[in-house]
Amino acid sequence: MCEIFCFNSNKPKEVNECLKCFYNHSEEHPHGWGLANMHDDNFEITKEPVKASCSEHLKDILANPVIGNNIFAHIRLATIGEIISPNCHPFTKVDDNNRSWVLIHNGTIFDYPQLDEYKDMETGDTDSERILLYLIDKVNEFESEKGCKSNPFERFSLLKHLIEDLSFNNKLNLMIFDGEVMYIHSNMQNSLYYLKNEDGILIATTPVTDDENWKPVEINKLFCLHDGEILLESKEHSNEYVQTEEQLAYINKFIESLGEKNGEYN
């Protein structure tokens, strides 16, 4: 599948060494890379459908300081969707109240028919982009009924129920930023780790520093991060994802089909 990374802090920090370590995993995740640096006044999002280790553009980016307090990174091992730029993470969309949302995903949606209606609306053809469109639709509906913008506590409560429902029989390791706060969810054992220190919070599929204090993210919970702290934490749900032989065979068959279509990956 994919690997995901985020950094959340109360003030901008340089994260180049973490990013270099993260993108070094691209040999096993060759189908694209992405980077999002979410500032208060603008979002810088860059992505390419090439192996991160082969990207001259990424080398140029990492040759200069990457500084921010809300940063996402992604390397893709495709399980749904072709190897094209619109299918690379992060995905972003503006909601009806002009908040810019950003999402990265490690996992696969095997069964959630409610996402099907977004196939004609997305720019690419991934389940991950459809997740973002679906969640924003629900936020828009909630705020329309309320008649005003929601606060982070209300959005957390709404997303908690939506993500719990989405996670049933699906792998759903998610990182989401709504322009104000960050949301983290994992439902597979030992598939996401975090490090809390004086700089903030680092979260990644595998540790990206030599620090011995990395710990597994608690599964089946939604966390809300703000300024390098856990602002909110949900109760545990019961939808732990355990990969079946059938699902693994499906994923491997899809990856093999991409290799046949595209030859050797860049």
Collect the ranges in the chain with pLDDT lower than 50. 260, 264-266
- The pTM score is 0.93
**Over the stretch 60-92, which tens digit does the pLDDT of each residue have?**
999 999 999 999 999 998 878 889 999 999 999
Query: Residue 188: left (phi > 0), alpha (psi -120 to 50), or beta?
Result: beta
Q: Give me Rg for the CA atoms of the chain.
A: 17
**Over the stretch 237-265, which tens digit does the pLDDT of each residue have?**
999 999 877 777 766 776 676 664 555 44
DSSP 3-state helix, strand, coil percentages of the chain (rounded to 5)?
30, 30, 40
pLDDT at position 78: 83
pLDDT at position 254: 65
Q: Which two tokens stand for residue 149?
A: 């913008």
pLDDT at position 258: 62
| Residue ranges of domains in the chain | 3-262
pLDDT at position 255: 64
> Is the CB of residue 139 less than 8 Å from the CB of residue 133?
no
> Is the CB of residue 95 less than 8 Å from the CB of residue 101?
yes
pLDDT at position 264: 46
Q: Does domain 3-262 have CATH number 2.40.50.140?
A: no
pLDDT at position 53: 95
Closest among 84, 201, 71, 80 to 131, alpha carbons compared: 80
> Is the CB of residue 166 less than 8 Å from the CB of residue 109?
yes
Judged by DSSP in three states, 156 sits in: helix
